[in-house]
């Protein structure tokens, strides 16, 4: 065995006998890594890296498994999602509506009085074998007494009668601005809430539900972090959100950061909360924090994705494209000018090319007074952006963060605009050809699923979660390209490309070891991948199968009636025996589930 030289410290951890993708074009794959002080010390072949072994070095044989850099979601609502994760029944990845309704029925029976059952995003009717939405009659039959709130994309929410009573919607309730309460012939609410033209009615109604107390919000966030770790996520950029006030609603992640219990690195953007008072919001926040303030685990990243409410072009492809109000330009100019003058990077939600044209007019006008081409700004989504506007983004030094929202809404888009128009939603290949910085993500948790492998599958296959082929080969990515967008590309949007995204000396030691070979398995199997070992800062934060000895101690689920205690997260229902209403035997191991030491109440190895 090679010996440590005088000028190199012994590694804390060595991973060897693997197929490790580095994202380094000079050495794309290696078999071993040396990790020390939370950083990659060296990468190379086994014999070379074993030279970093010392008497206290932990050595882990990867058994020829494939490892990749930790996945970095450039648009994730982690902070808000974590506060509510333990309250939510997830239909992400559930293959049939029959199964989804059975889960709902069982959860309603165990949910105590005063609490709700919530299904909040991450699913599409087209993922179900039945290829339809639940009916209001089915919701009322499944839960006659427990309030049920079902969010479906940006377009609608379905409430059972118990939920209507809980939120107080009656025949006399007026429709709120921008939304509609569907009613029967007698004028009574049916339980269907429609976003016309924006989703405020959906989110405002959801906000009426009970919240977890602080300690349970901390537990909930830790479970969401672990769920993300299970899927290989080690970093994200939090895009803020409605009803997510800074600093009040950030105290949970700040407490976890103080405790050293964050297992996903978070760079957070601040999302304005007050229509017509957006400038005051940002001016106040500029006194509290600054871009880059914080640590490698928790840091400020600037403004957005909402900069002014008049610029919100939320996509709902069941409805026509909304026209932004005439006041948008003046209001956006005022806020962007403030941000540019104070060197604040920003991101801006932008779906339609027509809106993007108007946004770029504003940005070009501000740029003539205060340059923004080195500010680190970017658009989010950009599903219908034109080549001309991509060029305008490039000229202003901007980037584009893309998400797999079309995997959930592609069928609706095709029905409204046609298959030809859907071929470039968004035109990722053209963005890359024109040299635009691009990062990948999900926009989870209220629209798309937080599963990064579902997003990678979409990037590679061009298909929706219902199987519809949206994109020709010319607008699909090779697997290596898609992975790069989900690692190096996203790191660029938080100004951290020199710190993470590659497994090379000096970068943060964030990586995941996969359940199967991402680069070799059939395309359709990409969306079923998971991590069997996730490492953040050189420390295992999730481990299963042959690496289970490295798994952190179990974490209880609070409250005990939480859906997470029974169903877990993405895909976990497949490990549940609904006929017997109990956990099913694990497919890979001889012992039953839940594993007593995994802390998640469900088998996390069902896919193997």
CA 177 vs CA 130, 194, 322: distances in Å? 34, 11, 14
The predicted structure's pLDDT at residue 536: 98
**Predicted local distance difference test score (pLDDT) of residue 572:** 62
DSSP 8-state symbol, 213: -
Q: Is the dihedral of CA 562, 563, 565, 568 positive or negative?
A: negative
Residues 73 and 501: beta-carbon distance below 8 Å = no
Q: 214-492, what's its fold?
A: TIM Barrel (3.20.20)
Instruction: Specify which residues 150 forms β-bridges with.
Output: 119, 158
| Residues 468-496 as b or e (16 or more Cβ within 10 Å = b) | bebbeeebbbebebbbbbbbbbbbbbbbb
Q: Which of 282, 277, 355 is nearest to 313 (CA)?
A: 355
Architecture of the CATH domain 80-206: Roll (3.10)
Judged against a pLDDT cut of 70, whether residue 595 lies above it is answered with no
Contact indicator for 79, 246 with CB cutoff of 8 Å: no
Sheet architecture: strand order including 29-30: 29-30, 19-21, 66-69, 511-514, 531-536, 539-543
For residue 430, pLDDT over 50 is answered with yes
pLDDT band at 154 (very low <50, low <70, confident <90, very high): confident
Q: What is the pLDDT of residue 316?
A: 87
Q: Find out whether 124 and 92 touch, Cβ atoms under 8 Å.
A: no
Instruction: Average the pLDDT over each of 135-144, 224-233, 308-317, 420-429 and give the range with the smallest value.
Output: 308-317
- Any idea which residue has 């601005």 for tokens? 177
Rounded mean pLDDT of 585-589? 38
Q: 571 pLDDT band (50/70/90 cuts)?
A: confident
Beta strands in 142-255 (DSSP E): 148-152, 156-159, 179-183, 189-195, 233-238
Beta sheet of 156-159, edge-to-edge order: 117-120, 148-152, 156-159, 189-195, 179-183
Given a contact cutoff of 8 angstroms between Cβ atoms, the answer to whether 485 and 459 are in contact is yes
Task: Give the HSE-up count for residue 259: Cα atoms under 13 Å, Cβ half-sphere.
Answer: 12
Residue 586: the pLDDT is: 41
DSSP string for 261-288: ---SEEEEEE---STT-HHHHHHHHTTT
What pLDDT is recorded for position 277?
A: 97
Using the predicted structure, report yes or no on whether residue 574 has a pLDDT greater than 90.
no
Among 81-85, 288-292, 296-300, 600-604, the least confident range: 600-604
Type and span of the H or E element at 440: strand 438-441
- pLDDT the model gives residue 465: 95
Q: SS3 letters for 446-471? A: CCCCCCHHHHHHHHHHCECCCCCECC
Who's near 346: CB < 8 A, 6+ residues apart? 269, 302, 303, 304, 307, 336, 339, 375, 377
Condensed to tens digits (0 to 9), the pLDDT of residues 1-35 reads 445 554 568 999 999 999 999 999 999 999 999 99
Instruction: Indicate the range of 86-100, 218-232, 314-328 predicted with least confidence.
Output: 314-328
> What is the reported pTM?
0.93
More confident residue, 176 or 69: 69
Q: Is residue 565 scored above 90 in pLDDT?
A: yes
Q: What pLDDT is attached to residue 136?
A: 98
Instruction: Tell me what the mean pLDDT of segment 211-224 comes to.
Output: 98
pLDDT for residue 577: 42
Mean pLDDT of the chain: 93
- Residues 6 or more apart in contact with residue 391 via CB below 8 angstroms: 434
Give the whole-angstrom CA distance, residue 331 versus residue 134. Answer: 40
Strands 66-69, 511-514: pairing kind? antiparallel
Least confident of 131-140, 501-510, 543-552, 581-590: 581-590
At 358-371, the pLDDT tens digits run 999 999 999 999 99
Q: Of 587 and 460, which is predicted with more confidence?
A: 460
Domains of the chain, by residue range, sit at 80-206, 214-492
Q: Check residue 588 and give its pLDDT.
A: 35
Is 50 exceeded by the pLDDT of residue 477?
yes
Q: In the chain, what percentage of residues exceed pLDDT 90? A: 88
Q: What is the pLDDT of residue 539?
A: 98
The pLDDT score that the predictor gives to residue 297 is 98
The average pLDDT across 506-516 equals 98
**What pLDDT is recorded for position 607?**
29
Mean pLDDT confidence for 516-532: 97
Q: What are 226-248's pLDDT values in tens digits?
A: 999 999 999 999 999 988 999 99
Cβ(232)–Cβ(534) under 8 Å?
A: yes
pLDDT band for position 590 (cuts 50, 70, 90): very low
Question: pLDDT-based confidence at 608, cuts 50/70/90?
Answer: very low
The dihedral formed by the CA atoms of 301, 306, 307 and 311, expressed in degrees to the nearest 10: 150
What pLDDT is stored for residue 602 in this prediction? 35
pLDDT digits (tens, 9 = 90+) for 352-407: 999 999 999 999 999 999 999 999 999 999 999 999 999 999 999 999 999 999 99
């Amino acid at each position: 065995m090679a010996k440590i030289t005088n000028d190199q410290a012994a590694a804390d951890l060595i991973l060897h006998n693997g197929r490790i993708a580095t994202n380094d074009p000079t050495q794309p794959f290696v078999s071993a890594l040396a990790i020390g002080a939370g950083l990659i010390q060296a990468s190379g072949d086994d014999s070379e890296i074993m030279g970093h072994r010392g008497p206290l070095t932990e050595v882990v044989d990867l058994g020829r498994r494939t490892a990749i850099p930790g996945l970095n979601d450039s648009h994730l609502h982690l902070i808000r999602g974590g506060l509510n994760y333990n309250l939510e029944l997830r239909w992400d990845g559930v293959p049939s509506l029959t199964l989804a309704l059975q889960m709902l029925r069982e959860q309603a029976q165990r949910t105590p009085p005063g609490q709700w059952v919530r299904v909040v995003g991450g699913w599409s009717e087209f993922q179900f074998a039945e290829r339809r939405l639940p009916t209001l009659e089915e919701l009322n039959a499944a839960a006659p007494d427990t309030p049920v709130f079902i969010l479906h994309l940006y377009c609608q929410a379905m409430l059972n009668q118990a939920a209507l009573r809980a939120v107080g919607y009656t025949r006399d309730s007026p429709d709120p601005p921008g939304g509609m309460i569907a009613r029967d012939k007698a004028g009574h609410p049916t339980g269907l809430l429609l976003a016309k033209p924006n989703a405020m009615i959906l989110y405002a109604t959801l906000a009426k539900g009970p919240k977890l107390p602080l300690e349970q919000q901390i537990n909930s966030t830790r479970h969401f972090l672990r769920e993300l770790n299970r899927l290989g996520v080690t970093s994200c950029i939090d895009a803020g959100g409605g009803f997510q006030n800074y600093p009040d609603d950030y105290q949970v992640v700040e407490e976890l950061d103080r405790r050293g219990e964050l297992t996903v690195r978070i760079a957070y953007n601040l999302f304005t909360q007050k229509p017509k008072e957006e400038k005051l919001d940002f001016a106040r926040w500029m006194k509290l924090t600054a871009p880059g303030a914080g640590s490698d685990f928790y840091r400020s990243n600037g403004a957005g994705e909402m900069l002014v409410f008049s610029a919100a072009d939320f996509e709902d492809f069941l409805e026509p494209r909304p026209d932004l109000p005439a006041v948008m330009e003046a209001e956006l100019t005022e806020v962007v000018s403030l941000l540019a003058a104070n060197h604040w990077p920003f991101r801006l939600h932008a779906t339609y090319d027509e809106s993007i044209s108007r946004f770029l007019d504003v940005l070009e006008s501000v740029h003539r007074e205060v340059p923004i081409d080195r500010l680190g700004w970017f658009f989010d989504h950009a599903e219908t952006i034109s080549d001309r506007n991509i060029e305008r983004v490039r000229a202003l030094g901007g980037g584009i963060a893309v998400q797999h929202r079309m995997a959930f809404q592609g069928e609706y888009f095709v029905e409204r605009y046609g298959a030809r128009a859907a071929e470039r939603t968004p035109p990722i290949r053209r963005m890359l050809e024109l040299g635009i910085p691009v990062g990948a993500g999900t926009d989870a948790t209220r629209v798309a699923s937080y599963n990064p492998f579902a997003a990678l599958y979409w990037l590679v296959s061009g298909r929706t979660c219902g199987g519809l082929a949206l994109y020709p080969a010319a607008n699909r990515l090779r697997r290596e390209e898609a992975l790069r967008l989900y690692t190096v590309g996203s790191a660029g949007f938080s100004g951290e490309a020199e710190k993470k995204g590659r497994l090379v000396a000096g970068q943060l030691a964030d990586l995941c070891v996969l359940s199967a070979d991402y680069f070799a398995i059939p395309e359709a199997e990409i969306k079923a991948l998971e991590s069997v070992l996730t490492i953040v800062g050189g420390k295992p934060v999730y481990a299963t199968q042959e690496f289970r000895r490295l798994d952190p101690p179990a974490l209880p689920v609070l409250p005990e009636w939480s859906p997470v205690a029974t169903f877990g997260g993405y895909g976990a229902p497949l490990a549940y025996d609904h006929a017997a209403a109990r956990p099913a035997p694990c497919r890979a191991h001889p012992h039953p589930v839940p594993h007593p030491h995994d802390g998640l109440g469900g088998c996390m190895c069902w896919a193997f």
